[in-house]
Amino acid sequence: MKTRIVFGSIVMMLVLAITANASGKGEIQKYFSDAASKVKAADNASEKRIILNESFHNMSKALDMVQSSPLISKDDRAGINRFKTALQEKQDELSGRNGYVRVSDEQLNAFSDYVVQDMEQAEAVITIGIVTLLLIIILIVLMVK
Amino acid sequence: MMLFVSICCGALTLFLSSCGTSYSVQYETQRVEDTLTVEYSIICIIHGDGDYLYHDTSGHEFKADEEALSKAERIAQQNPRAEIFIFHQKPRRHFLFFFPLHDGEVYYYRNGRLSANELYWRDQEQSRFDPEMGLYRRFRTNNQYKAVRLFLYYGHEIPEYGGAGYDESCPDRTFTVQDLAGGIKGFTSDSVRFDLIVLSTCFNGTPYTINILAPYTRTIIASPDNLHLSYFDLLLFERLDLSLRDGDVPAFAKRLALQAFNRLTRDIQTAVSVVVYDMDRVQGYLNSINSVYTNRMAILNGQASELVEHCDCAEEPEYVQPWMSEGVDVFYRPARFGRSKHKQNHSGWECWREKRPQRATSQTAEPVPK
C-alpha cells in the first residue's frame, strides 16, 4: 500500500510539473492562434467576425470570473485589468467602436494574425502569475466545450 | 516495491548523467584548425528563460530561443573562417524537484565545426556574463588577426533599471542594460571595440541603451519598438566571406537591417522597426539629451509600470533636436491595426513618458489602409 502511495505521489508531482510547464502563457497564445486558424478557414466575413467576437467574449468572461475570485493577488488583478483593456481595444476595432474604423471584411484574416502577434508581445499576459493563468485556461476550456 | 526501486534507480541514473560538469564534451584541440585564420569572431547570447513561445501565420508553434539557436548554429557551420560562441541561457530547472540542473549551454564553433559543447551554471544573483566570459577566455583562439568582431543578443526587452524578473525561473536574478554593457566590456577587454552589436529585442533602441553601449562598438542594430519573436533575419551572416568581403561593416549592417525589415513586414501585423546606429555620428544627439533623459527616467522609475509607457522620442519636445536623425538609418512600418496604425514615421529613438489617455476619436477621419 505504502509503495503505491509513494509511487502515485511521484507520478502526480511529475504530471503537475509538466502541466504547469506546458500551460499558462502558451495556452493563452494557443487559444488566439487557434481562433486565427478558424478565421482563415471560415468561408465568409460574417462567420469570421463571429469567431473573433466569440474568442474575445469567452476570454473576457473568463478574465472577469477569475478577477472576481478572492484568491487572486493584487498584482495579478492589475495584470488582468491590462489584459482586459488590450482585449477591449481589439473588440472595439473589430466592431468599429470607441473611435475605431471597423476592420474591413478583406482585412479580417490579417486582423486575426495581428491579435495573435500583439498578444504574444503583450506585457499584460507576461505579468499574470501561473496559477491565475491556469484558472483562466480551465475556465476557457470549460466555456468552449 | 521492485517497480518503485527500479524507477528510483532509473531516475538517479538519469540525474547523474545530466548533472556532470559537461556532457558530450567535444573540445578538440585540433591544432590543424589553427592554420585557418579566424577572420570573423562572433559572440551570440540567446536568452531562453522566459516566455518565448510564438505562432506563425499558419498556426505553427515555435520557441524563439530554440529557433535562434538553430539559426546561430547554421551560421556557425557555414563560416569556415569564423570563431563563434553561442551561449544559450536556459530556465533553471530541477530534477525531481530537488536537484538543480544547469541553466546554460555553450556551443563553440571554429572553422565551421563544433569544437566544444558544454553545460554551465549562469550567474546566480546578478547576470553580468561572468561564466560566459570564463568560457570565452578558455576556448577562444588567438589566431584572429584583425578579425571582424560581432556580438548578437536575442531576448526580451532588456530593462534600463531594476531588472528583477527578467529570468522567469529565477525572478530574483537581475539583468539590465548596465549588466549587458558590463558583460560586453569583459568580452572586449583585451581587444578593440566590436564592429557590430545586434540587439534582437523589443524597445532597446533608446538613447540610454545606445549610449551605454557606445564605448564598445562602432555600429548597433536595434529595434526601438516592439520586435516580433521571430527576431531579425540573419541570412547575411551565413556566408560572411561573401556578404562582408569588402570589410565594410556599416554597409553590411544597413543591408542586414533592410533584409530583416523586409522579412518581418511580410508576415508581421504589429509594428516593425529596425534601426542602424552609427556610434560616432549619434554621439552628438546622445550628449545633448543625456541629462534630460536621465532626470526623466529617475522620476518615471519610481512610478508603477502601468503609469508609464514607451513613446517615440520625437513626440516629446524635450528630446527633439535638429540633429536627432544624424547617424540613424530607420526602417519602420507601423502596426497594421491598433491606435498607432497611422503613425507613418519613427525617429529611431524610443523614450519613456507618463501614460496618456488614448485619443478615442483620432482615427475616425482616416482612411482604412488596404
Domain boundaries, chain B: 28-298+324-350
Supply the pLDDT for residue A14.
Answer: 45
Query: What is the ipTM, given to two decimal places?
Result: 0.82
- At residue B145 the predicted structure's pLDDT band, cuts being 50, 70 and 90, is low
B11-39: average pLDDT: 50
Does the structure show a pLDDT above 50 at B25?
Answer: no
- Distance between CA B172 and CA B174 in Å, rounded? 6
Identify which has the larger pLDDT, A18 or B69: B69
Nearest to B337 among A6, A114, A121 (CB): A114
pLDDT cut 70: percent of chain B above it: 85
pLDDT at A6 over 60: no
Question: What is the C-alpha end-to-end distance of chain A, expressed in Å?
Answer: 37
What is the C-alpha separation between B227 and B64, in angstroms, rounded?
12
pLDDT for res A88: 94
Would you say residue B365 has pLDDT above 60? Answer: no
Asked if A3 lies within 8 A of B3 by C-beta distance, the reply is: yes
**pLDDT reported for residue A4:** 63
pLDDT tens digit sequence for B64-120: 999 999 999 999 999 999 999 999 999 988 887 788 889 999 999 999 999 999 999
A88-94 average pLDDT score: 95
pLDDT, position A67: 85
Sort out which chain A residues have CB atoms less than 8 A from B51's CB and list them: 25-26, 125-126
Q: Do B61 and A120 touch (CB under 8 A)?
A: no
Nearest-neighbour CA in chain A from B172: distance (Å): 15
| Chain B contact present for A23, CB below 8 A | no
Asked whether B41 and B133 are in contact (CB, 8 A), the reply is no
CB contact under 8 A, B54 and A29: yes
Query: In a mutagenesis test of the A interface, which of B2, B4, B53, B341 is the best target, namely the one with the most A β-carbons within 10 Å?
Result: B53
Contacts of A133 in chain B (CB under 8 A): none
Contact state of B363 with A7 under an 8 Å Cβ cutoff: no
pLDDT tens readout for residues B252-273: 999 999 999 999 999 999 999 9
Name the fold adopted by B28-298+324-350: Rossmann fold (3.40.50)
Least confident interval from A72-86, B128-142, B275-289, B340-354: A72-86
The model's confidence at residue A74, banded by pLDDT at 50, 70 and 90, is confident
pLDDT in tens, B201-244: 999 999 999 999 999 999 999 999 999 988 888 889 999 999 99
Specify the pLDDT at position B44.
97
Least confident of A35-49, A109-123, B181-195, B325-339: B181-195
Cβ contact A26–B53 (<8 Å): yes
When mean pLDDT is compared across B4-13, B18-27, B248-257, B346-355, the lowest value belongs to B18-27
Average pLDDT estimate for B132-139: 93
The string of pLDDT tens digits covering residues B4-16 is 555 544 444 444 4
Q: What is the pLDDT of residue B190?
A: 62
Which residues does B244 contact at the CB level (< 8 Å), separation at least 6? B40, B148, B252
Q: Is the pLDDT of residue A2 over 90?
A: no
CA-CA distances (angstroms) from residue B198 to A49, B43, B63, B155, B204? 40, 10, 20, 11, 11
Greater confidence, B312 or B369? B312
Q: Looking at CA atoms only, how far is residue A61 from chain B in angstroms?
A: 22
Q: Do residue B370 and residue A78 have CB atoms under 8 angstroms apart?
A: no
Q: What is the mean pLDDT of chain B?
A: 86
Interface touch A121/B269, C-beta < 8 Å:
no
The confidence score (pLDDT) of residue B30 equals: 47
Report the candidate in B303, B294, B256 with the shortest Cα–Cα distance to residue B276.
Answer: B256
* Structure confidence at residue B363 (pLDDT): 43
Min Cα distance A78 → chain B (Å) is 9
Closest CA–CA distance from residue B349 to any residue of chain A (Å): 20
Q: Given a cut of 50, is residue A15 above it in pLDDT?
A: no
What's the whole-number mean pLDDT along residues B187-191? Answer: 73
Between B30 and B66, name the one with better pLDDT: B66
Percent of chain B with pLDDT over 90: 64
**Above 60 in pLDDT, residue B310?**
yes
Q: What is the pLDDT of residue B123?
A: 87
What grid cell was written down for B137? 577566455
Which three cell numbers, joined as nine digits, stand for B347?
525617429
Instruction: Count CB neighbours of A106 within 10 A.
Output: 10
The answer for A 105-144 residues in CB contact with B (under 8 A) is 106-107, 110-111, 113-114, 116-118, 120-121, 123, 125-126
A11, A117, A133: best mutation site toward chain B, by most B Cβ within 10 Å? A117
pLDDT at B360 exceeding the cut of 80: no
Strands B99-100 and B61-63 come out as unpaired
Contact A78 B229 (CB under 8 A): no
Question: Which residues in chain A have Cβ-Cβ distances shorter than 8 Å to B200?
Answer: none
Pick the residue with more confidence: B303 or B50? B50
pLDDT of residue A7: 54
pLDDT band at A124; cut points 50, 70, 90: low
Q: Between helices B130-139 and B177-188, what is the axis angle to 10°?
A: 20
Residue B364 pLDDT level (bands cut at 50, 70, 90)? very low
Q: Counting Cβ atoms within 10 Å, is residue B256 exposed (0-12), middle (13-18) or buried (19+)? A: buried
Query: Which pLDDT score is estimated for B161?
Result: 86
Which residue in B97, B267, B362 is closest to A99 by CB distance? B362
How far away is chain B from the Cα of A104, in angstroms, using its nearest Cα?
Answer: 8
Is the pLDDT at B368 greater than 50, yes or no? no
Contact residues, chain B to chain A, C-beta under 8 Å: 1, 3-4, 7, 50-51, 53-55, 57-59, 61, 96-97, 202, 226, 228-229, 267-270, 305-306, 335-339, 359-364, 366, 368, 370
